[in-house]
Amino acid sequence: MNRRSKRIVDIALAAVGLLVLAPVIALIALAVRIDLGSPVLFRQSRPGLHESPFEMIKFRTMHEPPPGMTASVSDLEHRIQDRARISTLGRFLRQTSLDELPELWNVLKGDMSIVGPRPLLMEYLPLYTAEQTRRHEVRPGITGLAQIRGRHVLEWSERFKLDLWYIDHWSMRLDLEIIGATASTVVRRSGQPPKDTPDNIFMGSATTTDASAGTGDRRVG
């Protein structure tokens, strides 16, 4: 099967998912509205196929920043403060990946695929090596090989290797295996950083050590 077949399957799965999960999506939207207020959705520009930017949508998981939070603090401090803004509901949505459900709309629109490399931050683009840039040869995915092999606990170098392996060995069977493994990963909530540990920030391949800092509203995953 070719990539056109992959797109047809994406459309079918996203449409069915949005239809079947509509009550769940509506319930989560109501819960977020009560817990965090408006807006219910988190929107952020991410690089898609061939690095073309698109607006990715998720359920919002964080409180508004307090008045005392200013841009004068360092980026590290700002991200750590952001991490503290995640609500109890928001943490649950992230741990269960329920905050990702609105991305089915991104799949239906053609911005994303069900399976593919996760869309990261636009600011990471200048930091990639030529090889790592290849992750944009396909549409980004809601889930991917890196997500079922460790997710946030993996080193960045390993995540990129898995992304590129997926691109070079893609098949519909592989996609179905990843989707099945994703369900198990979500149920077990594996690959999540400890509760109070900020997510890793990609600093570029010149510095392979993952800097720990909260991603806050500049969410990585």
**Tens of pLDDT, residues 123-134:** 999 999 999 999
Q: Does residue 173 sit within a domain?
A: yes
Q: Does residue 133 sit within a domain?
A: yes
Q: Which of 11-15, 185-189, 206-210 bottoms out in mean pLDDT, i.e. has the lowest?
A: 206-210
Q: Does residue 62 sit within a domain?
A: yes
Q: Does residue 220 sit within a domain?
A: no
Q: What is the mean pLDDT of residues 197-211?
A: 58
**Structural domain boundaries, residue 161:** 3-212
Q: Does residue 217 sit within a domain?
A: no
Task: Tell me the per-residue pLDDT of 44-86, one tens digit each, with 9 for 90 and over.
Answer: 999 999 999 999 999 999 988 776 655 444 444 555 566 778 9
Q: Does residue 147 sit within a domain?
A: yes
pLDDT of amino acid 171: 93
CA distance 51 to 32: 31
pLDDT of amino acid 201: 78
Contacts for 159-164: CB closer than 8 Å, 24+ residues apart:
160/131, 160/132, 160/135, 163/117, 163/135, 164/131, 164/132, 164/134, 164/135
DSSP symbols for 130-170: TTGGGGGGS--EEE-HHHHTTGGGS-HHHHHHHHHHHHHT-
The yes-or-no verdict on residue 4 having pLDDT over 80 is yes
The yes-or-no verdict on residue 23 having pLDDT over 80 is yes
CA distance 92 to 97: 8
The yes-or-no verdict on residue 146 having pLDDT over 70 is yes
**pLDDT interval class at 153 (50, 70, 90):** confident
Residue 62 per-residue DSSP state: B
Number of domains in the chain: 1
Q: Does residue 11 sit within a domain?
A: yes
Q: Does residue 136 sit within a domain?
A: yes
